[in-house]
Amino acid sequence: MAIVQSEALVLRSFRLGETSLIVSLFTREFGLLRCVAKGARGSKSRFGASLEPGVRVNAVVYRKLSRDLQLLSKTDIVEVLPALWEDPYRFAVATQVLEFLERAAYGESGDPELLDLACETLRTMSRAPIASLELIVRGFEIQACERLGYAPELTVCLECRSPLHQGGLFHPIRGGLLCGTCGGGEGSFRLSERARRVMVGLSEEPIPTLAGWAAERYPGIEVAKAVERFLAAHLERFDGLRASRVAESLGQYKG
């Protein structure tokens, strides 16, 4: 058993027994860690608000490699964004970032850049206009895929490598676009040039600049379809994020 310390993002928690919690942490050094936080739900819990979803903490963990569940000893809040909880729709969209990490992150060595990307996304979401939240989460998903090693090809045809200027045929499994001459084949669908350019932008722009995009001109449905099909093809047992379905049902109460 070793006492380790790591910066971490709190992804979610489950109730355990009368007063404890099981907490999912995405840590800078050790990737995903599931920890027991004893007494965390008691009124005098030493964890306070530090285990709420989306809080960035410094965590001290008793870690034993042979165990699935580690013991959380102490957390100090590094960054907390209560604005994320103060609007139900904003909360649901921000949760997509956390759920994505829980479903997609793997490995025991951590991914500091992915953690930074997630924290920057949440920070941007906490102050962005409601209308731009959806494109911010899409930008995060595309950029996170890039960090995980499977970014979609959006600028040249996967087959003949010729540059794309008139949209293309998106093939989720092959991981990108094909030109009209090569043809997309089964499972592919047409992506307009506008949606292609937006996706290129989402994959390249720093997340905070996405908050300033003109959200009303964003081809949301087309981009959502491409990103969701792409994730389904590249993540195991993925049938969409639960939080995104909740966000959709809360959408009518936006702002």
Partner 1 sequence: MQYSSALLETVITELTRLPGLGRKSAQRIAFHLLRSPEGDAKRLAQSIVDLKAKVEDCRICGNVTETQPCAICADSRRDNSVICVVEQPMDVLAIERTGEFRGSYHVLKGALSPIDGIGPEQLKLSELIDRVKPGGVVEVIVATNPTAQGEATALYIARLLQNVPGLRVTRIARGVPMGSDLEFSDQVTLARALSGRKEI
Residue ranges that bind partner 1, judged by CB under 8 A: 11-12, 15-18, 43-44, 46, 48-50, 52-54, 77, 80, 82, 84-88, 91-92, 95-96, 98-99, 102, 242-243, 245-247, 249-250, 253
For the chain, the straight-line distance linking the first and the last C-alpha, in angstroms and rounded, comes to 48
Span near Zn ion by CB under 5 A; candidates 12-20, 121-129, 133-141, 171-179: 171-179
Which CB sits closer to partner 1, 25 or 179?
25
Binding partner of 243, given Zn ion, partner 1, none, CB within 5-8 angstroms per partner class: partner 1
Residue closer to partner 1 (CB basis): 53 or 152 = 53
Q: How many helices (H) and strands (E) does the chain have?
A: 7, 8
Using CB under 5 A, which of 49, 160, 189, 245 touches Zn ion? Answer: 160
One-letter-per-residue 3-state SS of 27-83:
ECCCEEEEEEECCCCCCCCCCCCCCCCCCEEEEEEEECCCCCEEEEEEEEEEECCHH
Residue 124 touches which of Zn ion, partner 1, none (Cβ within 5-8 Å per kind): none
Using CB distances below 5 to 8 A depending on partner kind, what does residue 173 bind out of Zn ion, partner 1, none?
none
Q: Which residues of 146-182 are buried (b: 16+ CB within 10 A; e: fewer)?
A: bbbeebbbbbbbbbeeeebeebbbbbbebbbbbbeeb
Find the shortest distance in angstroms from Cβ 159 to partner 1. Answer: 38
C-alpha angle with apex 29: 9 to 237, nearest 5 degrees? 65
Q: Among Zn ion, partner 1, none, what does residue 160 contact (CB within 5–8 Å per kind)?
A: Zn ion
CB of 114 vs partner 1, minimal distance in Å: 18
Q: How far apart are CA 110 and CA 114, in angstroms?
A: 9
